[in-house]
Amino acid sequence: MQRKQKEKNRAARRPVPPLRVDDISVKMALKAAEMVTWQWDVETGIIHYSDNVPEVARGEDVADYDTVDNLLRNVHPEDRRNLAEAVRRTQSGKSDLECEYRVRMQDGRYHWILGKGKPVQWQRGRPVRVLGISQDITERKRTEEMLKKRSQQLAELAARLILTEHGERRRLADLLHDDLQQLLVGARMQLHAITEERGLAGHRQFRRLQHILGETLEMSRAITRDLAPPVVPQRHLDAALHWLARDMQRRHRLKVEVYAADICAAMDDARAVLLFTAARELLLNVVKHAGVSRAILGLRFPEKRMELEVVDRGMGFDASDADLVQSNTGFGLLSIRERAELLGGKLVISSAPRKGTRVVLSLPSAGLPGHGGAHTKGRKGAG
């Protein structure tokens, strides 16, 4: 047993021969993937690369990368610490090596490299030899950055669209309030004055006309409230949600229990408007389809996200059936789903027949002013 252990120790101390890539198909694969293979002698710090390393390094002199210390000196300063930590963890045997970092090549330019390594030889519980690969992923990183910028541009466009639509709705609400409703109020007053003056207050047709004007005025006020609630959601979202709960009970006899986090006052305008619009649409769906008189409306802030939740114990439906989902949610919610996705969020519907429905709208909260993550206090209320 001792003799076998001594043989293993002698084998571990033997110098690591340079890697050679002799198989043509392997050479072609490495070239196509812009990849090199390597062996790292952990005790000496020397790294032996496959013989195609000059192609990836953009030059013949690869002495800048032949030891861990030399490699780290050529790594971009912003990435050096991450790579050094990955190397340390592999040296200690805690994990395989995996790290993305930028390294200065022989042409003087930095390229993104994905390095992966796995210990293959151990001594006294620590690795002494690691095999791995290094792949140039610069083009992938450029593509990711471009997609990230495009995603940010779409999110900004979606936010402007949400606020523009909200501004237009408020403008229409103001027109209804300042013009149409004032005309209707004036018409009712004139009609009342005429009927009183001519003694026609009890006449059936005049009473009918008064009733029609009253219904039209109330309908106009309801449209005004739907277009633009009296509580501005951009500034006071939790107050707007509580107003919505009271409005749902008054107009639709739906009692809504509200759980809202205090921190929502720090939310940006586009997300606040989208969350309020979604809450109203979801509660209207409860009125139309659930067949219940109670619902729960919640707003919470898990780590780096914000979530709006509407729950009912009503009829429910098969959420796996796309046609049923469409018939139970409608076009308004489809539009909300699309805008949430443009903002990096998602809409999740959970439901089953006779087991109620739970809908969660989740949005990223990155970049919100004054956002405190999960450290929020909840506020409970009822409509």
pLDDT in tens, 220-238: 777 777 777 766 665 678 8
Q: Are residues 93 and 173 in the same domain?
A: no
Residue 176's closest CA among 228, 224, 226, 225? 224
Q: Are residues 211 and 264 in the same domain?
A: no
State how far the Cα of 42 lies from the Cα of 120, in Å rounded to an integer: 11
Q: Count CA within 13 A, CB hemisphere, residue 291.
A: 9
DSSP β-ladder status, 35-41 and 126-136: antiparallel
The predicted structure's pLDDT at residue 200: 64
Q: Diameter of the chain by CA atoms? A: 125
State how far the Cα of 76 lies from the Cα of 87, in Å rounded to an integer: 16
| 141 and 112 Cβ atoms separated by less than 8 Å | yes
Per the DSSP assignment, residues forming a β-bridge with 376 are: none
- CB neighbour list of residue 30: distance below 8 Å, 6 or more residues apart: 21, 36, 37, 50, 52
The single-letter code of the amino acid at 180 is: L
Q: Are residues 222 and 236 in the same domain?
A: no
Range of the domain at 6: 2-136
DSSP β-ladder status, 294-300 and 255-261: parallel
State how far the Cα of 94 lies from the Cα of 289, in Å rounded to an integer: 55
Q: Are residues 371 and 276 in the same domain?
A: yes
The predicted structure's pLDDT at residue 117: 96
Triad 285, 291, 296: Cα angle to 5°: 60
Q: Are residues 215 and 342 in the same domain?
A: no
Q: Are residues 235 and 381 in the same domain?
A: yes
Residue 355: CATH number of its domain? 3.30.565.10
DSSP β-ladder status, 110-123 and 97-104: antiparallel
Q: Are residues 147 and 245 in the same domain?
A: no
User: How many domains does one find in the chain?
Assistant: 3
The single-letter code of the amino acid at 19 is: L
What is the radius of gyration, based on Cα positions, of the chain?
34
3-state secondary structure of 272: helix
Q: Are residues 242 and 350 in the same domain?
A: yes
Q: Are residues 39 and 171 in the same domain?
A: no
DSSP β-ladder status, 110-123 and 126-136: antiparallel
The predicted structure's pLDDT at residue 376: 38
Q: Are residues 195 and 245 in the same domain?
A: no
Q: Are residues 203 and 276 in the same domain?
A: no
| 245 and 256 Cβ atoms separated by less than 8 Å | yes
Q: List strand residue ranges (DSSP E) for the chain, in order.
A: 35-41, 47-49, 97-104, 110-123, 126-136, 255-261, 294-300, 305-312, 346-351, 357-364, 378-382
User: Of 136, 162, 186, which one is at a domain's C-terminal end?
Assistant: 136
pLDDT tens for the 383 residues of the chain, in order: 555 555 545 544 555 555 555 577 777 888 888 899 999 999 999 999 998 888 888 888 888 899 999 999 999 999 999 999 999 999 999 999 999 999 999 999 999 999 999 999 999 889 999 999 999 999 999 999 988 888 878 877 877 887 787 778 777 777 776 777 777 777 778 777 777 777 666 667 777 877 887 888 788 777 777 777 766 665 678 888 999 999 999 989 999 999 987 654 457 888 888 898 899 999 999 999 999 999 999 999 888 889 999 999 999 888 777 666 666 665 567 788 888 888 889 999 999 998 999 999 999 875 443 333 333 344 555 55
Q: Are residues 313 and 376 in the same domain?
A: yes
Supply the pTM of this predicted model. Answer: 0.58
The predicted structure's pLDDT at residue 151: 80
> CA-CA-CA-CA torsion for 284, 298, 348, 291, nearest 10 degrees?
-40
3-state secondary structure of 337: helix
User: Of 198, 228, 258, which one is at a domain's C-terminal end?
Assistant: 228
User: Of 136, 167, 196, which one is at a domain's C-terminal end?
Assistant: 136
Residue 116: CATH number of its domain? 3.30.450.20
**Backbone angles phi and psi of 33, in degrees to 5:** -90, 0
Whole-number Cα distances in Å, 86 to 99, 204, 333: 7, 89, 46
State how far the Cα of 91 lies from the Cα of 130, in Å rounded to an integer: 9
Tell me whether residue 122 is exposed, middle or buried, using C-beta atoms within 10 angstroms of its C-beta: 0 to 12, 13 to 18, 19 or more.
middle
